[in-house]
């Protein structure tokens, strides 16, 4: 009735218990004591209204008791409105709307909404319609429904955010919604090339139609890519992604007040650094903003927290601490981060580290291991214990690493080849596999920075159970990450001490080491900078400067300031063709089967009508107690 169904209908038999209060009410007999009273004329006439009021109270008590028992039985039966569920064979059209910041221009997003509303209206008449909004993640705005008006109204409520684009998230959510039904997916987007970066190919059942609705976005965009403090001043990186030269004003603000404005001339498809003359204070906030009419609004400003933060302690473990082969390049690279304030680096050889105790090791947030030949058994067990307790480490498999010591160092056999191998041609470049990984964030603009480095030798390692983040040209794994319950473990299969390659002499070496160290120490130190979609717990995914609870780097008035910025990999407006998009979406045979019981459980879990039933039952019992007390 009314589309109401139950997951456990046998509990409804408990409603038969209402017979108990009904029987008590019907067969109850009131016995009155007969008192002879001859002087009847002295009795006050008993009004009929008192008797009627008593009978009304008894009926109310009965109704409340019956209602409580019925509601209890219904709650245990787990009701849900089946009318909200579609039949297992009802086709579904999923309209997925891109809400990333590449559509943040007001006119562009208005066109996106109009295209989405049109897609909803022209869905086949026999189809239900669902609405999905996606950026880095995908969320269901409207579950499959035959009410086209509700879906159109929901489209009108969409707004662009500040996160990047992930087509894989949209397709995965659409396939989940369609399930075993027939259906189609309509994607409304500007189809940026960066939406597939770092994503595996999405699989779409071969019987689901895919429609691409393109929204023309701006073909020009100027973005603030970076902001940092150098020698008391602020330096910003700016990139012109357009095909024409641009002249843009760039402003520096400190604590919300503009202190300097420069005019920057940018050639087409070029980047430049802006160095401001104003001296910034030791604490506070700074931001760089530019005026870019017609481009993306979200990347026109970038924020920086000037408050000093405690340095992250990193130990660089080497086999030979001499100037040429003692972690010199790694130490100098880490010393360049935030003018030497971000990391506190200790270079230690294997013998010295073997004399440490567990408390000395625990003072460090991460390890960079460049050599294990001089590690004694105590040192190996110390590193293994550090990793087991959640520590993070970068292990470079260069010539100073003895593969025979690695099982003791890692606490497991890493399957590393005993001998180094030469790369094809004697020199191979590095090819990044996942450009969205935090280690490679500085190398997306320009993307060729790492590709200019040549590597001669490497040590092979088994890839199973590890994620390959970068490869050498030719296919050999270069940088791998092994997932662990706690902490992070990275393997670099070549050398970081200028022996098997000239990587330490490349300009790309410093940002690579610094970003790797930041990734390893993330979560174990007080961060002041975040890149969307990552944010501190409790903060919205919005760029800006926020104050959160904490003691490290405290701001005046309490709390700790953090800067949240957009991911500038979304800043390139270059679109991709329909053919290029479809290449990332291979078709697969339909493999799922309908599960009406699972759909019913999902509907019941979302509606939770049993909670409402219990609440009304408690109210009925409270009313019964109140009326019963007054009746007595």
Q: List pLDDT tens digits, range 549-584.
A: 754 444 445 578 899 999 888 888 888 888 988 888
- For CATH 2.60.40.10, the residue range(s) in the chain are 222-308+528-570
Average pLDDT over residues 583-588: 84
pLDDT reported for residue 87: 55
pLDDT reported for residue 447: 46
Under CATH, what is the fold of the domain 312-521?
A: Rossmann fold (3.40.50)
Superfamily of domain 92-219+579-593: von Willebrand factor, type A domain (3.40.50.410)
Kindly list the distances between the CA atom of residue 196 and the CA atoms of 55, 200, 540, in Å, as whole numbers in the listed order.
74, 8, 25
pTM for this prediction: 0.62
pLDDT reported for residue 555: 47
Q: What are phi and psi of 16, to 5 degrees?
A: -65, -15
CA pair distance 306, 114, nearest whole angstrom: 43
Does the pLDDT at position 590 exceed 90? no
Rounded (5°) CA angle 591-596-598 = 85
The CATH class that applies to domain 222-308+528-570 reads mainly beta
Does the pLDDT at position 481 exceed 90? yes
Does the pLDDT at position 1 exceed 50? no
Q: Give 525-544 pLDDT, tens digit per residue.
A: 777 888 888 888 888 888 99
Cβ pair 21, 62 in contact under 8 A = yes
CA pair distance 291, 249, nearest whole angstrom: 6
Does the pLDDT at position 519 exceed 60? yes
Q: Give 371-386 pLDDT, tens digit per residue.
A: 998 999 999 999 999 9
Share of the chain above pLDDT 70, in %: 85
Does the pLDDT at position 605 exceed 50? yes
pLDDT reported for residue 554: 43
Cβ pair 173, 140 in contact under 8 A = yes
Question: Tokens 């992250």 correspond to what residue?
Answer: 312
CB contact burial 231-258 (16+ within 10 A = b; e otherwise): eeebebbbbbbbeeebebebbbbbeeee
Higher-scoring residue by pLDDT: 631, 425:
425
Cβ pair 217, 108 in contact under 8 A = yes
- For CATH 3.40.50.410, the residue range(s) in the chain are 92-219+579-593
CA pair distance 557, 559, nearest whole angstrom: 7
Cβ pair 366, 520 in contact under 8 A = yes
Question: Given pLDDT bands bounded at 50, 70 and 90, which one contains residue 593?
Answer: very low
pLDDT reported for residue 490: 95
Does the pLDDT at position 47 exceed 70? no
Higher-scoring residue by pLDDT: 5, 221:
221
- For CATH 3.40.50.880, the residue range(s) in the chain are 312-521
């Amino acid at each position: 009735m009314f589309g109401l169904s139950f997951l456990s209908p046998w509990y409804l038999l408990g409603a038969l218990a209402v017979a108990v209060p009904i029987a008590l009410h019907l067969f109850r007999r009131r016995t009155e004591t007969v008192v002879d009273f001859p002087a009847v004329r002295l009795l006050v006439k008993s009004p009929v209204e008192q008797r009627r009021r008593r009978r009304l109270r008894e009926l109310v008590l009965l109704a409340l008791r019956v209602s409580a028992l019925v509601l209890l039985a219904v709650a245990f039966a787990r009701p849900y409105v089946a009318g909200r569920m579609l039949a297992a064979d009802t086709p579904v059209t999923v309209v997925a709307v891109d809400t990333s910041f590449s559509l943040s221009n007001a006119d562009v997003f208005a066109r996106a909404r109009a295209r989405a509303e049109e897609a909803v209206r022209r869905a086949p008449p026999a189809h239900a319609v669902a609405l999905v909004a996606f950026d880095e993640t995908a969320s269901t705005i409207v579950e499959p429904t035959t009410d086209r008006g509700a879906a159109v109204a929901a489209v009108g409520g969409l707004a662009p955010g500040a996160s990047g684009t992930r087509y894989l998230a949209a397709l995965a959510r659409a396939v989940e919604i369609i399930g075993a039904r027939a259906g189609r997916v309509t994607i409304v987007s500007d189809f940026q090339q960066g939406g597939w970066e770092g994503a595996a190919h999405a699989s779409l059942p071969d019987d689901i139609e895919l429609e691409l609705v393109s929204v023309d976005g701006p073909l020009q965009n100027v973005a603030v890519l970076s902001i940092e403090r150098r020698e008391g001043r602020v330096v910003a990186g700016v990139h012109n992604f357009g095909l024409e030269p641009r002249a843009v004003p760039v402003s520096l603000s400190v604590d919300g007040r503009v202190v300097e404005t420069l005019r920057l001339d940018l050639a087409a498809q070029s980047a430049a650094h802006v160095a401001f003359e104003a001296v910034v204070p030791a604490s506070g906030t700074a931001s760089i903003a530019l005026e870019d009419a017609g481009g993306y609004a979200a990347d026109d400003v970038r924020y920086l927290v000037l408050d000093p933060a405690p340095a992250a302690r990193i130990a660089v473990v080497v086999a030979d601490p001499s100037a040429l082969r003692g972690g010199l390049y790694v130490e100098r690279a880490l010393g360049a981060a935030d003018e030497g304030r971000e990391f506190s680096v200790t270079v230690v050889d294997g013998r010295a580290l073997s004399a440490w105790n567990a408390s000395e090791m625990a003072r460090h947030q991460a390890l960079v291991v460049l050599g294990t030949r001089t590690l004694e058994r105590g040192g190996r067990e110390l590193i293994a214990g550090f990793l087991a307790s959640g520590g993070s480490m970068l292990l470079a498999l260069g010539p100073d690493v003895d593969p025979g010591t690695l099982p003791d160092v890692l606490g497991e056999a890493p399957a590393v080849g005993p001998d180094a191998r030469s790369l094809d041609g004697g020199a191979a470049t590095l090819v990044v596999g996942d450009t969205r990984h935090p280690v490679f964030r500085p190398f997306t603009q320009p993307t060729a920075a790492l590709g200019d480095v040549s590597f001669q030798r490497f040590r092979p390692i088994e890839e199973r159970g590890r994620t390959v983040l970068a490869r050498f040209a030719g296919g050999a794994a270069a940088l791998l990450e092994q997932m662990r319950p706690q902490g992070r473990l990275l393997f670099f299969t070549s050398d970081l001490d200028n022996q098997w390659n000239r990587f330490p002499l490349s300009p790309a070496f410093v940002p690579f080491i610094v970003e790797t160290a930041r990734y390893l120490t993330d979560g174990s130190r007080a961060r002041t900078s975040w890149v969307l979609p990552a944010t501190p717990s409790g903060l919205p995914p919005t760029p800006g400067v926020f104050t959160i609870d904490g003691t490290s780097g405290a701001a005046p008035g309490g709390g700790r300031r953090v800067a949240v910025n957009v991911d500038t990999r979304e800043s390139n407006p270059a679109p991709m063709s329909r053919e290029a998009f479809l290449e990332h979406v291979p078709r697969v045979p339909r493999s799922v089967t309908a599960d009406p019981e699972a759909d019913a459980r999902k509907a019941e879990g979302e509606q939770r009508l049993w909670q409402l039933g219990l609440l009304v039952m408690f109210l009925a019992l409270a009313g019964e107690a109140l009326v019963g007390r007054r009746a007595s």
